[in-house]
């Protein structure tokens, strides 16, 4: 079995996203193009030399880690090789994500004219979902009476609970009733009864941003960043936000504390106490 097929098979078994599988396949293609050796003769040194070469070419830390993770996954998980690739490389510099204000979120949502599109973006922000989670959400995964839902096999193949905003409960009930959706149906379907694409979600947000005069580069994931930041501003604890976002580590969630407005966090300058 070639490396591309091995990664695809093992990746799908572990419910990796198609994008992750394609990225890993691309990384391995580059690696084997530069290391024309039989697989059983490849050593840790070959991997280290390959990664060091990428660094010399000026590749970003994040890119290096994608290559490292792809190589680890293939050799350790797909092939079951005994040696552990515990090579350490600096991570990409911390860059705070773009976050919208509550007023900007409200403007974007109100600028969307299509009711279903508006509902989709409202849920994307209001529940802090990833785009893939929104598109793969089935009717049976939400409990409208108790205002919560479940993500099944999310990032890292983890399950988690999410909250449903009061404002959209009636709209969701109406959608399910009008479109006669069963528990096994995806919650959001096009007129052709097909799932929406991530590109469509991005275009909806992009168009709404233009309508509201927002010129910054806003992605669907910006809604999730904004959701988390606004929860922190509203007084939710890091552990609560961590649970709702499905983060493995609280350190990942702590970034939203840095993004929250100081006055919302009731932080006073030390000058005030002088």
Active site residues: 130, 155, 221, 224, 247, 256
For residue 82, what are its two tokens?
Answer: 């005994």
What are φ and ψ of residue 238, in 5° steps?
-60, -40
3-class SS of residue 148: strand
DSSP lists the bridge partners of residue 163 as 148
Q: How far apart are the C-alpha atoms of 175 and 179, rounded to whole Å?
A: 6
Which residues lie closer than 8 Å to 125 by C-beta, 6 or more apart? 105, 109, 223, 224, 226, 227
Stated as kind and residue range, the H or E segment containing 149 is: strand 148-151
Angle at 93 between CA 88 and CA 99, to 5 degrees: 135
Q: How far apart are the C-alpha atoms of 269 and 271, rounded to whole Å?
A: 5
Q: Confirm if 100 and 68 have CB atoms less than 8 A apart.
A: no
Q: How far apart are the C-alpha atoms of 65 and 41, rounded to whole Å?
A: 23
């Amino acid at each position: 079995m070639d490396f591309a097929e091995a990664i695809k098979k093992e990746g799908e078994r572990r419910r990796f996203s198609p994008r992750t599988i394609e990225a890993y396949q691309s990384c391995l293609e580059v690696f084997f193009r530069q290391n024309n050796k039989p697989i059983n003769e490849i050593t840790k040194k070959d991997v280290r030399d390959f990664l060091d070469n990428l660094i010399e070419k000026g590749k970003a830390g994040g890119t290096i880690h994608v290559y490292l993770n792809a190589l680890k996954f293939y050799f350790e998980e797909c092939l079951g090789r005994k040696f552990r690739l515990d090579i350490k490389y600096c991570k990409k510099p911390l860059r705070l994500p773009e976050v919208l204000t509550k007023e900007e979120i409200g403007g974007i949502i109100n600028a969307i004219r299509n009711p279903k599109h508006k509902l989709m973006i409202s849920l994307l922000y209001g529940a802090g979902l990833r785009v893939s989670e929104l598109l793969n959400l089935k009717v049976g995964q939400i409990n409208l009476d108790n205002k919560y839902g479940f993500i099944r096999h999310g990032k890292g193949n983890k399950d988690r609970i999410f909250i449903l905003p009061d404002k959209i409960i009636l709209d969701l009930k109406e959608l399910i009733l009008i479109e006669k959706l069963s528990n096994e149906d995806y919650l959001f379907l096009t007129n052709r009864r097909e799932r929406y694409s991530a590109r469509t979600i991005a275009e909806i947000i992009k168009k709404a941003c233009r309508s509201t005069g927002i010129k910054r580069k806003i992605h669907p994931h910006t809604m999730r960043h904004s959701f988390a930041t606004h929860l922190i501003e509203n007084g939710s604890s890091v552990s609560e936000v961590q649970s709702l976002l499905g983060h493995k580590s609280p350190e990942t969630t702590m970034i939203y504390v840095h993004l929250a407005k100081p006055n919302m966090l009731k932080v006073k300058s030390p000058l005030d106490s002088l």
